Amino acid sequence: MNKTISIDDLQTIWEKVTLLHGGQTYGGHEKDLRIEYINHIGSVVFEVFYALQQTDSFDGELAITCALLHDTIEDTAFTKEELTELYGHRIADGVLALTKNTTLPKEQQMPDSLQRIMQQPKEVWAVKMADRICNLYRPPHYWDNEKKLSYLQEARDIHAHLHSANVYLSNRLLRKIEAYKKYLS
């Protein structure tokens, strides 16, 4: 079942996502700084929204909805079944593809994720690029150089596999990869 998503539906999804991620934070670039996780979700949506303005023939409903919900299965108690019931198979399948399979060894998680994402529509690919763009800001203060290098290589792998989904996001991801090098020691 695929449902059409209205602006009212998107606002309801935003409220649900805000509640699901309520209280979650992530490490800031300063020792005592914690950032509300909903900031990340909003940043990914902004990236996708701006990409939609630069792109013809892109399913904005799919892209924005998956961007809003992209971390719900991975980081909350929300399930694929609940996603399917509320938003249909297309959205649930996209979000599931964007979710790391944590039962795999760490080194297999990104290749597996990319393989599953590539089986989805290009809009889901675009969400993954937008997600990594948003994660390439200043790294948390506690990451060592090895972690930063690994994260940068993952970003390159994401670009190599998904760049054809959206020219704007592809170019933006390349710029963020280049800019991230300043954080390496």
Which CATH number fits the domain that encloses residue 130? 1.10.3210.10
Helix (H, G, I), strand (E, B) or coil at 12: helix
Q: Is residue 160 part of a domain?
A: yes
- Distance of alpha carbon 112 from alpha carbon 78, whole angstroms: 21
- Distance of alpha carbon 132 from alpha carbon 168, whole angstroms: 14
The one-character DSSP state at 140 is: P
Q: Is residue 92 part of a domain?
A: yes
Nearest residue to 136 via CA among 21, 34, 47, 22: 47
- The answer to whether residue 61 scores a pLDDT higher than 60 is yes
Residue range 3-9: mean pLDDT, rounded: 76
The per-residue pLDDT for 150 is 95
The per-residue pLDDT for 32 is 67
**What is the number of helices (H) and of strands (E) in the chain?**
10, 2
The per-residue pLDDT for 1 is 38
Q: Note down the domain range covering 70.
A: 7-183
Helix (H, G, I), strand (E, B) or coil at 44: helix
Q: Is residue 96 part of a domain?
A: yes
Residue range 138-161: mean pLDDT, rounded: 94
Q: Is residue 88 part of a domain?
A: yes
Split into its structural domains, the chain has a count of: 1
Residue range 67-84: mean pLDDT, rounded: 95
Token pair 């971390």: residue: 71
Q: Is residue 2 part of a domain?
A: no
User: What percentage of the chain has pLDDT greater than the value 90?
Assistant: 80
